């Protein structure tokens, strides 16, 4: 099986090298941009899209924008709609990430990200395992013990089947020696808002998502973070890793932007220059620091090459977990 952890580590090095190339900024601002978010308000893609919108407008890189949210099935409901509605539109950007790669494979959808124009991989985010504040579970060790004792009694709130959240839950269960057939995973395919409501309403035992989605509620004391999926401590996040607590599980969730199908080469290049200019702003860098996002910028062709390998790596992991052929 292709080792997703090794693959992600290698591409992180490629991102660091690319970041130092002094890539060109956009020559001129866009008049308008349509941002298509294939998730419901409140989820990770929605947060990413609205941060992009804010930074672009604040720095004069676009004069106006429109945001469209179409959630469901790990983004696979919004993807064909974007393709049909924005085919050939040089001013449209589609927000996507690792979750969609898994959802496309698991759902066997007839359309995939290969139909779009890769503009840039922007960020990486580690997953966090949380429980409601009212939960009697205080530590990862207690959670693992409860999971081993009665797997079906532990309900997990997360994103679409086959996505990063689901894979993370499966890896934790596998580390606990729990059969995946016994996993009580509740997939909220419309976006992070629904999963958050189930956690805050104490309707599920635990939740999984990117740190950015849970950060405010963790800081407010409404959720208790048990572990983060980073290989080592993240400087800006005071949450212990699974690894340091004796559970050898790591995973990262990338997010990026794509252009519409059938763009001319110059139109795709203009979107790449727009994304390049955005990530060089202080406002974007501040958002990365504030939200605990890692800079994983890869433009154009480098992003396309990464995506091809990530699809293969994700398919391999899902097959190993019994979630794909």
- Residues carrying CATH 3.40.190.10, the chain: 126-245
- List all residues 6 or more positions away from 123 whose beta carbon is below 8 Å from its beta carbon: 48, 254, 255, 256, 288, 293, 294, 295, 296
pLDDT at position 42 is 84
3-state helix, strand, coil in the chain (%, to 5): 45, 20, 30
pLDDT at position 192 is 60
Taking 60 as the threshold, does the pLDDT of residue 248 lie above it? yes
- Residues carrying CATH 3.40.190.150, the chain: 4-124+254-320
pLDDT at position 314 is 92
In this structure, whether the domain defined by 126-245 belongs to CATH 3.40.190.10 is answered with: yes
What number is the average pLDDT over the span 227-235?
A: 92
How deeply is 139 buried, as exposed, middle or buried, from its count of CB atoms within 10 A (0-12, 13-18, 19+)?
middle
Compute the mean pLDDT over every residue in the chain, rounded to the nearest whole number: 89
- Residue % of the chain over a pLDDT of 70: 90
- Domain 4-124+254-320's class? alpha beta
What number is the average pLDDT over the span 276-300?
A: 94
What number is the average pLDDT over the span 3-29?
A: 46
Taking 80 as the threshold, does the pLDDT of residue 11 lie above it? no
Taking 90 as the threshold, does the pLDDT of residue 213 lie above it? no
pLDDT at position 189 is 67
């Amino acid at each position: 099986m292709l080792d997703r952890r090794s693959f992600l580590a290698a591409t992180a090095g490629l991102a660091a090298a690319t970041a130092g190339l002094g890539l060109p900024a956009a020559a001129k601002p866009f008049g308008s941009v349509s941002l298509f978010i294939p998730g419901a308000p409140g989820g990770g893609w929605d947060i990413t899209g609205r941060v992009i919108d804010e930074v672009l407008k604040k720095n004069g890189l676009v004069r106006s924008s429109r945001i469209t949210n179409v959630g469901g099935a790990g983004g696979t409901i919004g993807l064909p709609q974007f393709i049909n509605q924005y085919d050939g539109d040089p001013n449209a950007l589609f927000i996507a990430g690792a979750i969609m790669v898994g959802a496309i494979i698991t759902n066997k959808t007839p359309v995939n990200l290969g139909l779009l124009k890769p503009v840039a991989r922007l960020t990486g985010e580690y997953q966090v395992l949380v429980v409601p504040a009212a939960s009697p579970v205080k530590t990862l060790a207690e959670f693992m013990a409860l999971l081993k004792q009665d797997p079906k009694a532990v309900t997990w709130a997360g994103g679409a089947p086959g996505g990063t959240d689901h894979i993370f839950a499966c890896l934790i269960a596998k580390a606990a020696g729990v059969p995946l057939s016994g996993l009580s995973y509740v997939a909220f395919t419309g976006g992070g808002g629904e999963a958050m409501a189930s956690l805050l309403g104490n309707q599920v035992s635990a939740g999984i998502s990117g740190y950015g989605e849970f950060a405010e509620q963790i800081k407010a004391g409404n959720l208790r973070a048990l572990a983060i999926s980073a290989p080592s401590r993240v400087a800006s996040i005071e949450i212990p890793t699974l690894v340091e607590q004796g559970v050898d599980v790591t995973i990262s969730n990338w997010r990026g932007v794509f252009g519409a199908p059938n763009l001319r080469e110059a139109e795709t290049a203009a979107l790449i220059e727009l994304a390049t200019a955005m990530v060089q702003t202080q406002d974007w860098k501040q958002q990365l620091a504030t939200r605990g996002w890692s800079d994983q910028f890869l433009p154009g062709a480098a992003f396309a090459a990464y995506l091809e390998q990530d699809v293969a790596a994700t398919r391999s992991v899902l097959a190993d977990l019994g979630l794909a052929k």
